[in-house]
Amino acid sequence: MGLERNFAGDPKAHLGYWGPPTSVANFCEEDYSVTLYVGEFVNSFTNLAYVYWAFRTLLPGENLLTQPSNLALFFVGVTSLLFHLTLKYETQVCDDLSMFWVCAALVHELYTLGWSRSAKLAFGSVLTIALGIISGYHYALHQLWLHNTTFIALVTAIWPRVLYLVRTRFKGEVKRYWTGEFRVGGLCFLMGFVVWVLDSAYCGALRDARKALGIPLGFLLELHGWWHVLTAVGAGYCIRVTKVLTKEQQSP
């Protein structure tokens, strides 16, 4: 079983408004099955969950343009919607790279806490250059392993740093509260990964079940859509905890 399976060749794939799919990734939802204007209907519009959490986690007085992690999460929603809408390689790459940048924004905020402005700028520049080079290779190679590896590395850099900061900067009930909040986010990410794997491994059975249920109940078995919803919630909780950790005054 692989995470890069491509379910190409659906009956209506070549009839879609956006033309035949060219993306390397093509998930279990049948192409253009709901409307010829949307490549993957459920997988497209569940990305609005990212847009919702991008705004939901803004604090009073903040806006997208001043909050890199919120802005990056917003672009995850937009670019992923465009990818699943069109199933084109170019929009897939935009979706892939937006995932890098929301993680990079969190990594920068978490690891430069207490640093001088010049040190933060230097770290941000190195991170940007490194991800820029990786992004260029990712686009040129037409594969997913480099994207998957980089994304896993960035996520792995986030969670231990958050737990360390929670345990060293908070005490008592405040510590327990924010540890619990971060665990909820982590559990959502884990559940999202599980349904992503199941969507790939059991696509045939899922498609049969969806046909038996019909629309709209069959939408509930579009598991990649649940990946979007669950990871949006997980990212929202992570951004929320990160904002508290990087403020001088913390309160639950």
Residues of the binding site for Ca(2+)? 29, 40
For residue 232, what is the enclosing H or E element? helix 223-245
What is the DSSP code string of 63-132?
A: -GGG-HHHHHHHHHHHHHHHHHHH--HHHHHHHHHHHHHHHHHHHHHHHTTT--HHHHHHHHHHHHHHHH
Please provide the size of the chain in residues.
Answer: 252
Q: How far is CA 133 from CA 106, 109, 130, in A?
A: 19, 21, 5
Angle of helix 48-56 versus helix 68-86 axis, rounded to 10: 170
For residues 131 and 100, is the Cβ–Cβ distance under 8 A?
Answer: yes
Binding residues for Zn(2+), as ranges, are 84, 224, 228
For residues 64 and 71, is the Cβ–Cβ distance under 8 A?
Answer: yes
User: How far, rounded to the nearest angstrom, does the alpha carbon of residue 243 sit from its chain's CA centroid?
Assistant: 18
For residue 215, what is the enclosing H or E element? none
Binding residues, as ranges, are 29, 40, 84, 224, 228
Tokens for 17, please give them: 């408004």
